[in-house]
Amino acid sequence: MTAAGAGGRAPLSVLFATSEFMPLAKTGGLGDVSAALPAALARLGVDVRVVLPAYPAVWRHRPAPRSLARARVGAFDVELLETTAESGLPLVLVANGELFDRRGTPYQDERGHDFADNADRFGCFAHAIAWLAAGHTGAAPDIVHLNDWPTALAAALLAAHESRPRTVFSIHNLEYQGLFDRAAFDRLALPERLWSPSGVEYYGGFSFIKAGLAFAYAITTVSATYAAEIQTPAGGFGLDGLLRARADRLVGIANGIDVAQWDPALDRCIAQRYSVDTLAQKTANRDALQRELSLASPAQPLFGIVSRLVHQKGMDLVLELIDRLVALPAQLVVLGSGERALEAGFAAARRRHPSQIAFVPRFDEGLAHRIEAGADIFLMPSRFEPSGLNQMYSMRYGTVPIARRTGGLADTIVPADAPDGTGFLFDEPSAAALWRAVEAAAATFADPPRWRALQRAGMERDFSWTRSARAYLDLYRRVREAR
């Protein structure tokens, strides 16, 4: 527990609810954010506890937890357990073996199929969050910070309590909404008052994420540009009207990154450590990556991708260009899994160009670091990207990003033609627009002084979580003190 808040103010207590937590459970950026932001808040004097489901990986990687309580929450029996994260953060685990003790990701089985009872799993989780927030295991927190659809129902459940803590709901990706049918609503023992257009009802079914948007006291998302995009029909996934109606409660706060974990001068995963002052040593990492992945080793640009292979990420645009990319000449390393057709496309490209293309169809944290260090150029042609983290990892490692001008990518990458440029941006979500950016990057790569300037500018930018955590702390204080 924190004894004093920053600047001598009364300390804030925050219950931070998430379905992912790096390294215990991660499918994307939410896992990174959920580990890094609470840790940064704790360093600022916030008394923060993280609550997440008790997945099998938690038992494998953390000390044996102690039991806090057993409770009936909604239609479910749970045990609340407490342990600590590697960072020292207190973790509260919601245990129900039938719902959470499974192989696979937090949302899908080992074959990549959504669990059929995800409504029950995360409905149970939301009930448990609301039960904890009511102070049944100690003092109620000042703020309950909910993250993405798996936690969002807790905002609606808490709304009925007069003495409830204030809720902040963060949208990490509005595309994933937690949409289920009336039968699921009934199974979750939700109040009937919520089945209405002003509640969670959504075109004959119901939406978890709508609960967060409609009932949270404040709404955040992970970049200022994305906050504007989701209020439009093109970016709002059917919820833009609700978001416009609550625009006075919506704010974009850019994510940071863990600058200790992602530091080429300290990184134990890479072949050769380096810094902005020893940037010439970066090429040793390209050589090592080529050897590791059985690529040829000519002095030509090496493009990297670390991504879920899904339509959102624009991976189909890369596949359209992949033979032209090899002909530049250039090489490409792809790490990630996702849609079967995209995986098959990259596997086929590898077979066509075995010395120029490497494809690793899984997630590997160490290899992700080695790609960031070994690549010259990083591709992020996303159709939309709420925040994005890899563009910041890339700039930190002197790897120049090519990205679509959307969401957090637009907010964090400075165009290459600016005096302090850090990367290449394009606007239209098409293979032709991406190719023009690739050609511009390849031409600049052939001009070492200009290329070095881009690398240095990216490496010198401040992407630490401290800046973002201070913005969240200011928001929490405003929310707590508001009438």
pLDDT band at 482 (very low <50, low <70, confident <90, very high): confident
Q: Residue 1 has what pLDDT?
A: 39
Separation of alpha carbons 209 and 148, rounded Å? 7
Average pLDDT over residues 357-372: 96
Average pLDDT over residues 286-290: 97
Q: At the topology level of CATH, where does 276-459 sit? A: Rossmann fold (3.40.50)
Secondary structure class of 250 (helix, strand, coil)? strand
Average pLDDT over residues 436-454: 98
Average pLDDT value for the chain? 94
Separation of alpha carbons 38 and 36, rounded Å? 6
> Quick count: other Cβ atoms within 10 Å of Cβ 416?
22
Q: Residue 9 has what pLDDT?
A: 57
pLDDT band at 332 (very low <50, low <70, confident <90, very high): very high
Same fold, 6-256+465-481 and 276-459: yes
Percent of the chain with pLDDT over 70: 98
pLDDT band at 476 (very low <50, low <70, confident <90, very high): very high
Average pLDDT over residues 198-212: 96
pLDDT band at 4 (very low <50, low <70, confident <90, very high): very low
Backbone φ and ψ for 53, nearest 5 degrees, come out as -65, 155
Backbone φ and ψ for 265, nearest 5 degrees, come out as -80, -15
Average pLDDT over residues 245-273: 96
Average pLDDT over residues 400-414: 97
Residue 108 DSSP one-character state? B
Residue that has been written with the tokens 């003190």 in this structure: 481
Q: Residue 396 has what pLDDT?
A: 98
Residue 165 DSSP one-character state? P
Percent of the chain with pLDDT over 90: 89
Secondary structure class of 98 (helix, strand, coil)? helix
Q: Where are the domains of the chain?
A: 6-256+465-481, 276-459
pTM of the model: 0.89
pLDDT band at 280 (very low <50, low <70, confident <90, very high): very high
Residue 402 · residue 381 · CB < 8 Å: yes
Helices (H), 216-309: 224-229, 240-245, 283-292
Q: At the topology level of CATH, where does 6-256+465-481 sit? A: Rossmann fold (3.40.50)
Nearest alpha carbon to residue 112 among 363, 315, 322: 363
pLDDT band at 111 (very low <50, low <70, confident <90, very high): confident
Q: Is the pLDDT of residue 5 over 60?
A: no
Q: Is the pLDDT of residue 143 over 90?
A: yes
Please report the DSSP string for 315-383 in residue order. Answer: HHHHHHHHHHHHTTT-EEEEE--B-HHHHHHHHHHHHH-TTTEEEE-S--HHHHHHHHHH-SEEEE--S
Nearest-Å Rg of the Cα atoms of the chain is: 23
